[in-house]
Structure formats: C-alpha cells, structure tokens
C-alpha cells in the first residue's frame, strides 16, 4: 500500500514560505486517512452483513421447505429401520406366573355397509339374517334403505361367517380389520381378568379398552405401546386356579350354596396365587350387569374382593392375638367363659346354647370358638386398642389389590365403639370385610406379624411391611389355630402331612328388616399351612351353604367351608411343591430268604 505521508515536504515548505502553520496540513492528512479507514471498514462490515443475512435466509428457507415437504407428503412407515425395538400398537398379553396365556389378541374383522354402493338391499338383508341369527331382515332392509351412507353391522365375526358374507358378493358390504381380546381359558380366573370391549371405533381399527378387573385397573400399562412386547405377568398359577375353581364348584353344588369364593395367598410376598369367585362368567362374552335386584347376585360380582360380609368367628383370633400382644394374657391364662352371660347390656351366648365355662384357657377359647370368652378378652383389651388393632390389620380401608373393583369394596366399620360393639366385633359381628381383607390379616399372623400388601402381579419379593404384632404372638396364634384344626371346630381340614392351622367362622346374614336370618349364613374358613412355618394362607367363603347328609341340615362352617378348604389344600399343596411332612410308609426291608 502506498501511504500518503502526513507531512509532505513540498507542501510544508510551501506553507512555511507563506507563513502558515504546517501542522494544519498534518491534521488535514490525518483526517483524510481516518476517513479512508472508516469507509473501508464500513464496506467490509456491509459485505459481512449481507453474507450473514443470506446465510440466515438459506437456513430458514431450508427449515421451511422441509416443514412444507413433511406436511404435504403422505405418511409412510420407515422402511429402512430395523424391527429390533418393538413398538407395537396392540394390547399386551396377560400371562400367569408360568407364562401360560390368560388373555391375548386375535385378528378378526368387523362388518359395515355403505348402502349407496349396495346393489340389492333386500337380498343382502335376507342373506345376512341367515348368517347372523340376531339380525332381523325387515329391520335391516329398512335401515339400509333409509338414506344413510354408513352402517355398522357386526363388531367381530368368525372366519367362516366372513367367508359367507363374501359369498353374498355385494359391493356395499365391507370389512374393517379388528384386534379382538381373547381369553382362551374361558371362565377360568374370570373375575381377575374382567374383560375388554371396543372404545373409539374407526373403519380401519378400533381401540380395545378394559371394562373390569385387572384389564381396567392396569389399562394404561396394557395399552402402553412401549411395553406391548412384554406380557403382563400375573401371580396367578393357572393349574392351581383350575384346581381351586373345580373343587370350589363341586363344594358349592354339593352344599347348595348361592356363591363361593377362595383366595390362596403367599404370606411373605403377598402374591395371590389363586382368586376364585363363583358363580363365574365368560370374559369372552361378558354378561350385562343386572339392572334390578341385588348386584351381588350377578355372576360379575367378585365375592372374594367386592363381597363385604360379617366374617364371624374368624375374627376371634385377632382379639386373642391382640390381648396376647399387649401382654394381658398368655395361651394358658384362664378366662371367664360362663355362658350365657349378660355383657355390655346384652345376652351373649354360645353356639347351640352350650356352656364351655366357667373358666376356659385362652387357647381353648379359640379351639372351642367361645363367644363369651372372646368377649371377655375384648373387654380386657378395650375399645380403643381393639379398633386400632383392626385398623393396623387393614380392616378399615379398601384393599389395594390391582382390580378396578377393589377400591369400591369399603369395609363396613362401626362408627362408635361402645362396649357392645367391642364385644360383637371381637367375634366378627357388626364389622364387615371382604375375604381379601381376611386373607391379608391372616397372612400377617402367618408370616410372623408383618402386614403384607396383596398383589396380583408376579415378581414378589418378601415384603418388609409394618409390624402389627410380635413374632411370639404370631407363633402362639398359629399354634392355637393348629389345635382348632386338630381337636376343635375344623377337624375336617386336617390334611395329613400339611399341618393345617385355621379358624372357622359362621355368620348369620343380616336381612332387610335389620335382624339376622338363622337359615342364611356365610361360612368362612381362614387357614394357613404348614403350621410350623406357614407359607400360604387360604380363605374359603361359602354363601348360604347347607350340609344335608345328616338327620337335620347343618350350616356351621365346620361342616361346609372346612371340608372344601381341606380338599383344596390336599390338591393345591402338592402343586405348590410342598412335600408332606408325614413319614412315608416304611420301605419294605430286604429279607434274607434261604433257598
């Protein structure tokens, strides 16, 4: 670059001759130079700005064009992506704890009509009525010819029916693919599974939503596309469930019971291995709820979870356990059991007017199921501590099992606890709970005094819940219930080898007049096995059973629920892998035989 000197000698000399200040020349030149620098910098900055704005323009144009392109193109599946990570739009399967399918999906088709494309609505209506018996040909023809442009005819159909519709050959009849929920085991575990139906429907697909049971309670999990590949594993064991339902159904028929329920539960993990309620229904073809009458009479009613009953003498062990836990009594303490006795202003008597008194050990209160003895123990404990103990066992709140029906089954608890309430609740009257509540409370006794949360999902680990009683109390309570089975009210459940411990309960049903029906009872047997280290709790409840093999009808649990429970344990325990502790018959010893 040629630099212009700031003080050019010629001009300086000239200025000096004229007597001017040469510094002005330098300042003038300096100013010119600065102006030149400024102009150059500005031009460079302008070029930069133009480039920058062009860059921004190109970037935004690219983004805009890409957005426009995406908005304008038809959606296509990514063809080059691998099918490794599964995102499936289907509802997840439900399996039992061994992976056997309880609920799955099946591809089927829905039938709809577009009457404007239909050639001969009259013939189509007659042919459809031949294939689907529920269709009325006259009504169908009227609907096809009243000017509508779209009409659903069938939600699902079998491949044979679909072929026959094809053979009608009318262009106005069309098929839409459908995912259908299928329960291959029919009525088995129906109350656990609940059922499913169609939600929002379109021509090319329909959403499947759960309507009851675990299908509704865990609907979000089952519909989650990210987990569709992984089946939902329940804690139910299909083989056990089948055996329990078979025996329960036989017992229900033999004892002329209105209904029956059974719960088999792992006492440490809280896993429900079997949950049965009879009468059952087929979830593939779920019946409509009853519009009149008692909803409890519907087969949809889950007696094990929704059925809230007075559970009778099965509660006595809680009263006794509470008294022992508070250190008020020991198993061999003698208590007053003189019957009939006026307590809290009411006459309390024993079954069939017996008298086990005047004194009875705490252990024999359970073995003989003495009302008066239990009532006296309850009065020793007091209302406040009794209510608190029932609450700690979970009798004040609905169970938290994964069924949509569970939160609605709230136990009926007395609002106030005067002495008479303390007395009646001590032997299970005036307080109503579901068999599931009872199973949870018995599990707490069976596992050494820790409360567990029942669950229908597999993968249970031993729960470390809140402690509700000491280990010693729990062990002593189990011993007492073992004696009730060996020599008390539940001898018919003494399955050889499995050391069953349990307590019977017979409660008369409250009637509409506010009293109790003597010939309508709810029989319960709550048991645990094996008694030396209880692993499982089984609760069997029969609704209005009667045993008629004797000279007069018998309605006590010892004759109804107990033998049913005994048979269930005899069948279920080997399936659970429990080996009987009886010694096997002696092996034939080798004998030396002289020839």
Q: Which residues are identified as catalytic?
A: 313
Binding status of residue 570 toward other proteins by CB under 8 A: yes
356 or 498, CB closer to other proteins?
A: 498
Q: Give me the half-sphere count of Cα atoms (radius 13 Å) on the Cβ side of residue 500.
A: 32
> Among residues 277 and 364, whose Cβ is nearest to other proteins?
277
Q: Interface with other proteins includes 250 (CB under 8 A)?
A: no
Q: How far apart are CA 426 and CA 310, in angstroms?
A: 12
Among 12, 182, 249, 400, binds other proteins (CB under 8 A): 182
Assess 142 for contact with other proteins (CB under 8 A).
Answer: no
Helix axes 9-18, 22-72, angle to 10 degrees: 130
Binding segment (CB under 8 A) for other proteins, from list 127-135, 136-144, 185-193, 350-358: 185-193
Residue 349 binds other proteins (CB under 8 A): no
186, 199, 287, 407: which one contacts other proteins (CB under 8 A)? 186
Using rule CB under 8 A, residue 496 touches other proteins: yes
Could you say whether residue 79 binds other proteins (CB under 8 A)?
Answer: yes
> Phi/psi at 449 (nearest 5 deg)?
105, 15
Enumerate residues 497-526 that contact other proteins by CB under 8 A.
497-498
Residue 177's SS3 state is strand
Output the furthest CA–CA distance in the chain (Å, rounded): 164
Residues 58-77 that bind other proteins (CB under 8 A): 77
Burial of 146 (0-12, 13-18, 19+ CB in 10 A): exposed
Work out whether 188 is an interface residue with other proteins (CB under 8 A).
yes
Whole-Å CA distances, 196 to 62, 217, 242, 253, 302 = 48, 11, 22, 29, 16
**Residue 466 touches other proteins, criterion: CB under 8 A:** no
- Smallest distance from the beta carbon of 137 to other proteins, in angstroms? 33
- Counting contacts by CB under 8 A, is residue 246 touching other proteins? yes
Among 9, 200, 587, 594, binds other proteins (CB under 8 A): 587
The residue range among 192-200, 266-274, 388-396, 571-579 that interacts with other proteins, by the rule CB under 8 A, is: 571-579
* The residue to which tokens 């023809």 are assigned: 141
Nearest residue to 319 (alpha-carbon basis) of 417, 386, 412, 388: 386
End-to-end CA distance of the chain: 135
Dihedrals φ, ψ of 292, to 5°? Answer: -140, 165
CA distance linking residue 535 with residue 273, whole number of Å: 12
Q: Are 362 and 333 in contact (CB under 8 A)?
A: yes
Tokens of 124: 């189509």
Residue 530 preceded by cis peptide, ω within 30: yes
Give yes or no for residue 159 binding other proteins (CB under 8 A): no
Q: Which of 296, 465, 510, 580 binds other proteins (CB under 8 A)?
A: 580
Smallest distance from the beta carbon of 92 to other proteins, in angstroms?
Answer: 12
Q: What is the x/- site pattern for other proteins, positions 86-105, by CB under 8 A? A: --------------xx--xx
How far does CA 224 lie from the centroid of its chain?
Answer: 17
Residues binding other proteins (CB under 8 A): 77, 79-80, 83, 100-101, 104-107, 182, 184-186, 188, 238-239, 241-243, 246, 495-498, 570-571, 573-575, 579-580, 583-584, 587
């Amino acid at each position: 670059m040629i630099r212009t000197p700031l003080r050019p000698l010629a001009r300086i000399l000239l200025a000096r001759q004229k007597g001017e200040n040469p510094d002005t020349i330098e300042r003038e030149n300096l100013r010119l130079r600065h102006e030149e620098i400024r102009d150059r910098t500005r031009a460079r900055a302008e070029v930069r700005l133009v480039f920058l704005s062009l860059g921004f323009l190109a970037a935004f144009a690219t983004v805009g064009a890409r957005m426009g392109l995406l908005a304008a193109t038809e959606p296509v599946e990514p063809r080059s992506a691998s099918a490794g990570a599964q995102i499936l739009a289907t509802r997840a399967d439900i399996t039992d704890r061994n992976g056997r399918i309880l609920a799955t999906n099946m591809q089927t088709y829905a039938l709809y009509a577009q009457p404007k494309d239909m050639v001969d609505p009259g013939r189509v209506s007659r042919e459809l009525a031949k294939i689907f018996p529920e269709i009325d040909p006259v009504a169908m023809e009227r609907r096809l010819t009243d000017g509508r442009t779209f009409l659903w005819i069938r939600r699902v159909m079998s491949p044979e029916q679909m072929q026959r519709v094809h053979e009608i050959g009318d262009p106005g009849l069309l098929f839409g693919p459908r995912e259908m929920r299928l329960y291959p085991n029919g009525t088995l575990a129906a109350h656990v599974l609940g059922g499913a139906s169609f939600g929002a429907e379109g021509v090319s697909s329909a959403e499947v939503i759960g309507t009851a049971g675990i299908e509704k309670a865990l609907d979000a999990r089952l519909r989650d596309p990210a987990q569709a590949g992984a089946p939902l594993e329940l804690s139910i064991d299909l083989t056990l469930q089948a055996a329990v339902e078979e025996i329960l159904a036989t017992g229900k028929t033999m004892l002329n019971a209105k209904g029956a329920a059974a719960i088999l539960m792992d006492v440490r993990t809280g896993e429900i291995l079997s949950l049965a309620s009879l009468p059952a229904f087929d979830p593939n073809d779920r019946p409509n709820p009853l519009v009149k009458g008692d909803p409890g009479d519907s087969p949809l009613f889950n007696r094990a979870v929704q059925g809230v009953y007075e559970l009778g003498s099965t509660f006595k062990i809680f009263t006794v356990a509470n008294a022992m836990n508070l250190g008020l009594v020991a198993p061999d303490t003698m208590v007053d059991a003189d019957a009939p006795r006026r307590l809290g202003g009411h006459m309390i008597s024993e079954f069939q007017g017996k008298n086990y008194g005047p004194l009875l050990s705490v252990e024999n209160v359970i073995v003989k199921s003495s009302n008066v003895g239990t009532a006296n123990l309850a009065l020793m404990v007091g209302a406040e501590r009794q209510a608190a103990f029932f609450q700690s066992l979970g009798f004040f709140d609905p169970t938290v099992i994964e069924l949509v029906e569970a939160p609605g089954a709230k136990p009926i608890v007395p609002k106030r606890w005067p002495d008479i309430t303390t007395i009646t609740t001590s032997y299970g009257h005036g307080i109503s709970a579901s068999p599931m509540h009872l199973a949870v409370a018995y599990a707490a006794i069976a596992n050494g005094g820790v409360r567990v949360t029942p669950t229908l999902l597999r993968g249970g680990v031993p729960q470390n819940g809140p402690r509700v009683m000491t280990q010693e109390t729990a062990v002593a309570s189990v011993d007492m219930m073992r004696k009730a089975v060996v020599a008390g009210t539940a001898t018919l459940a003494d399955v050889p080898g499995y050391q069953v411990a349990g307590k019977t309960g017979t409660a008369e049903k409250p009637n509409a007049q506010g009293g109790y029906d003597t010939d309508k009872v709810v029989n319960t047997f709550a048991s645990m096995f094996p008694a030396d280290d209880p692993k499982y709790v089984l609760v069997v409840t029969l609704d209005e059973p009667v045993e008629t093999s004797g000279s007069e009808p018998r309605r006590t649990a010892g004759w109804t629920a107990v033998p049913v429970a005994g048979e269930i344990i005899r069948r279920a325990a080997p399936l659970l892998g429990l080996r009987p502790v009886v010694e096997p018959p002696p092996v034939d010893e080798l004998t030396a035989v002289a020839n």
